[in-house]
Amino acid sequence: MPILLLISAVLILVLLITVVKLHPFLSFLLVSIAVGIATNMEVAKIVGAIQKGIGDIMGSLLVILIVGAMLGKLVADSGAANQIADSLIRVFGTKKIQWALVSTAFIVGIPLFYGVGFVLLVPLVITISEKYKMSAVYLGLPTLAALSVTHGYLPPHPSPVALADQFHADLGKTLLYGFLIAIPAIIIAGPLFSMTLKKYTAKPLAIFSTKNFDEQKLPNLFFSLLAAFLPVLLIALDTIVKMLFPEKNVFTKTMHTIGDPSIAMLISLLIALYTLGIRQGKKIAAIMAPMSDAIKEISSILLIIAGAGALKQILTDSGISNELIQPLSGLAIHPLLLAWSISAIIRVSVGSATVAGLTTAGIVAPLIASTGVNPCLMVLATGAGSLMFSHVNDPGFWMFKEYFNLTVKETIKTWSVMETIVSVVGLIGVFILNSFL
């Protein structure tokens, strides 16, 4: 009965989002209420569970995601991404421009949310492809592979952070393990796969070329890299300190404070405000204006995460989660593969990686305690599944098609295959790590 109810809930969620075209937040709320009623919960308890689910997940993530969006916007608008790309092209040389762009996407993709990173980097790719007379798809797909991997695997992106919260995984360890999986996934889905893409010679529309930055006014490379990497460095450093210095003293307490994800993001933003803004001669008011736009851009993602938190709490308070432990644990399938599979199925059905990952979290979270599986690896397995086979129900599919001027068939052969490779390689990487941990 619990499994049938859960399957029905997921199917209704998929139908509401894909067929009815209801916003995912409203879809999550309606399904949460329906599940509560179906399990004979009192109305007051249903409302209380929804409020608690939203409050719990937003309370721990809101600062990280809002400040992260503002930092990403500052990196984009200041020209820091262009500075990184130009510098890496000089280092790699024109024969290895592809690797320079992949490295750029990986670096700036850490603080940039996916949508912002896409509209920032793709015009840059198109401009470079025109300049050096190279296939835009050949250069662009590996770049977007790197961007996709950071979006699905690495904090402080919304889905990995939210999954870590729901699975009670250490964010720093998740980040470190994510790097180990991300690099081979990017190489295989990017530069290696792109060797088959030189035949795609469609010319993107000229309107998608990047805007020109005055090179004299770009922030220097050090400050550009600092803005992108500082949150990661602070969070990772705290994790290393925890491993090497378990005792509590002034040093470890200080490191734990500045390495807390919310504090790390805030410190990084304040430093970037000076190095990429004030130091460049910009007024605070002028810097803040686009940051307000960044908050608007992420509002929809925040609502999806809130809705997923509500459904997760309903599943918990109704007792469905506990009742699912026995049948799910009894399945002849590894918990990591189960999480990946459920996430992949929902991703293919709904199109949204965030919805797929967070819906899966509400289903498989109880398995962590009952099976002893590493929660950090559960985050990565779920995230990898949420990237599986992007197709016509994913906005990213259509953005890639239009920007690179491809047919639907060509987009499936390039974009959809790349996303599938990222997902499958990620799952393989998770199992390899699991064998050592």
40, HSE (Cβ side, Cα atoms, 13 Å): 2
> Taking the CB of residue 59, how many other CB atoms lie within 10 A of it?
11
Of 88-102, 204-218, 299-313, 398-412, which gets the smallest average pLDDT?
204-218
Give the C-alpha separation, 63 to 92, whole Å. Answer: 37
How many structural domains compose the chain? 1
pLDDT band, residue 59 (cuts 50/70/90):
confident
Q: Which of 154, 159, 168 is nearest to 375 (CA)?
A: 168
175, 232 Cβ separation under 8 angstroms: yes
pLDDT number for residue 98: 94
pLDDT number for residue 395: 84
Give the C-alpha separation, 24 to 374, whole Å. Answer: 29
Q: Which DSSP symbol is given to 208?
A: G
pLDDT number for residue 436: 93
The mean pLDDT of the chain is 89
pLDDT number for residue 326: 67
Report the pLDDT averaged over residues 223-242. Answer: 88
pLDDT number for residue 1: 63
In the predicted structure, residue 115 carries a pLDDT above the cut 70 = yes
Residue 270 CA: distances (Å) to CA of 56, 242, 294: 26, 25, 16
pLDDT number for residue 138: 95
425, 388 Cβ separation under 8 angstroms: no
Report the pLDDT averaged over residues 267-281. Answer: 93
In the predicted structure, residue 301 carries a pLDDT above the cut 90 = no
pLDDT band, residue 424 (cuts 50/70/90):
very high
In the predicted structure, residue 420 carries a pLDDT above the cut 90 = yes
Report the pLDDT averaged over residues 262-286. Answer: 92
Q: Which DSSP symbol is given to 178?
A: H
In the predicted structure, residue 331 carries a pLDDT above the cut 80 = no
24, 359 Cβ separation under 8 angstroms: no
Give the C-alpha separation, 111 to 107, whole Å. Answer: 8
94, 110 Cβ separation under 8 angstroms: no
pLDDT digits (tens, 9 = 90+) for 343-376: 999 998 888 898 899 999 988 988 898 889 999 9
pLDDT band, residue 114 (cuts 50/70/90):
confident
69, 298 Cβ separation under 8 angstroms: yes
Which residues span the domain enclosing 196?
A: 2-436
> Taking the CB of residue 252, how many other CB atoms lie within 10 A of it?
17
In the predicted structure, residue 211 carries a pLDDT above the cut 70 = no
128, 97 Cβ separation under 8 angstroms: yes
What angle in degrees, to the nearest 10, is found between the helix axes of 43-78 and 24-38?
160
In the predicted structure, residue 380 carries a pLDDT above the cut 80 = yes
More confident residue, 297 or 95: 95
Give the C-alpha separation, 17 to 26, whole Å. Answer: 9
Q: Which two tokens stand for residue 322?
A: 């506990």
Rounded to 5°, the CA angle 292-236-223 comes to 50
In the predicted structure, residue 228 carries a pLDDT above the cut 90 = no
pLDDT number for residue 243: 83
In the predicted structure, residue 433 carries a pLDDT above the cut 80 = yes
Q: Which two tokens stand for residue 253?
A: 């307490």
Report the pLDDT averaged over residues 94-117. Answer: 88
Q: Which of 183, 188, 159, 186 is nearest to 171 (CA)?
A: 159
Give the C-alpha separation, 40 to 400, whole Å. Answer: 46
pLDDT number for residue 205: 67
419, HSE (Cβ side, Cα atoms, 13 Å): 27
Of 86-95, 171-180, 305-314, 328-337, which gets the smallest average pLDDT?
328-337
120, 77 Cβ separation under 8 angstroms: no
pLDDT digits (tens, 9 = 90+) for 155-193: 888 889 999 999 999 999 999 999 999 999 999 999 999
